[in-house]
């Protein structure tokens, strides 16, 4: 069976995630490295810390990376990898594009910059950024509203019946008010991720990312920005350079994976958000979740 390993992004975190990884001897060296690099334990976050982007992103990457190591140690291997937003870094790690330390340094910087961008937004009410999940909607009407209402856009195209919109809080509220969706839920995030409000953070992040050498992946990696797979390290790096401001094309990614012959997806990391989205997009795709040791 042709299997894709897929990796969750911010929003899948939970207090205590990955705690059983402490019992696996294969995790010890990386957990020690993570503590030295971060100055805190990625498996020991409090309820308050785990909701802060600067903590959430490195912790999620660490858990997914260690679960990936465990899968490989059990003799498992994917045909390809993909990740949702932050999860793309875990997908690149799983494909061997960069090592654990490089990935963790990048994710830690990404988390700090995105957190800081959100704090700057909060300091200027006219440009406060926010996001909302929209469920059960008319897609054509949503796309039209995002075109005619300034400062709002689709951030995550997750499934046929679920998207996340991003932008100025007032603009997000205006779209939700006119769309008449089944549900519209404001998200507890620190800023308008995957929008132009992240441009300054993306520019600063690019200064660190650009000189890093990416290795050719051992398997194809699907990009959030293109919804297609590549084995070209420069193509994959370019996708990361624009990822912070570009929408996550997850629905299209799932459709493309199926078109490319993927028969099953393994969600490697906490929670089951992505397998739920896969089910709503292509119910025939088989699904497994690996959030703890034991395959």
Catalytic (active site) residue 85:
yes
45: three-class secondary structure by DSSP:
coil
Q: Residue 108 and residue 73: Cα distance in Å, rounded?
A: 26
> What are the Cα distances from residue 273, in Å, to 32, 35, 83?
29, 27, 12
Give the pair of three-digit tokens for residue 192. Answer: 């308008």
- The answer to whether 46 is a known catalytic residue is no
Measured from the Cβ of residue 182, the count of other Cβ atoms closer than 10 Å reads 11
Write phi, then psi, for 230 (nearest 5 degrees): -145, 155
The CA–CA distances, whole Å, from 107 to 33, 54, 149, 152, 248 equal 14, 9, 32, 26, 17
Token pair belonging to 59: 């912790």
Q: Within a 10 A sphere around the Cβ of 34, how many other Cβ atoms?
A: 25
* The one catalytic residue among 64, 194, 223, 291: 194
Q: Are 265 and 257 in contact (CB under 8 A)?
A: yes
- Give the active site residue among 12, 64, 85, 190: 85
Q: Which residue has the tokens 């990935």?
A: 103
Catalytic residue positions, numbered: 85, 194
């Amino acid at each position: 069976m042709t299997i894709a390993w897929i990796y969750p992004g911010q929003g899948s975190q939970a207090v205590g995630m990955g705690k059983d990884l402490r019992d696996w001897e294969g995790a010890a060296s990386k957990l020690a490295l993570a503590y030295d690099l971060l100055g805190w334990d990625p498996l020991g976050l409090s309820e308050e810390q785990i909701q802060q982007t600067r903590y959430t992103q490195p912790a999620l990457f660490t858990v997914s990376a260690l679960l990936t190591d465990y899968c490989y140690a059990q003799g498992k291997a994917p045909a390809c990898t993909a990740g949702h937003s932050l999860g793309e870094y875990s997908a690149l790690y799983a494909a061997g594009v960069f090592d654990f330390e490089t990935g963790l340094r990048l994710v830690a910087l990404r988390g700090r910059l995105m957190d800081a961008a959100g704090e700057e937004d909060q300091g200027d009410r006219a440009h406060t950024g926010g996001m909302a999940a929209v469920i059960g909607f008319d897609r054509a009407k949503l796309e039209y509203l995002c075109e005619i209402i300034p400062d709002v856009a689709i951030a995550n195209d997750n499934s046929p019946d679920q998207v996340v919109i991003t932008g100025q809080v007032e603009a997000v509220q205006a779209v939700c008010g006119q769309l008449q969706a089944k549900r519209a839920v404001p998200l507890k995030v620190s800023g308008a991720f995957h929008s132009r409000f992240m441009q300054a953070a993306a520019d600063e992040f690019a200064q660190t990312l650009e000189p890093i050498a990416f290795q050719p992946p051992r398997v194809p990696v699907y990009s959030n920005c293109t919804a297609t797979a590549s084995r070209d390290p420069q193509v994959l790096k370019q996708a990361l350079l624009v990822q912070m401001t570009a929408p996550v094309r997850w629905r299209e990614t799932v459709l493309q994976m199926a078109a490319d012959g993927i028969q099953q997806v393994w969600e490697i990391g906490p929670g089951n958000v992505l397998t739920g989205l896969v089910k709503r997009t292509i119910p025939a795709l088989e699904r497994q979740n690996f959030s703890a040791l034991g395959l």
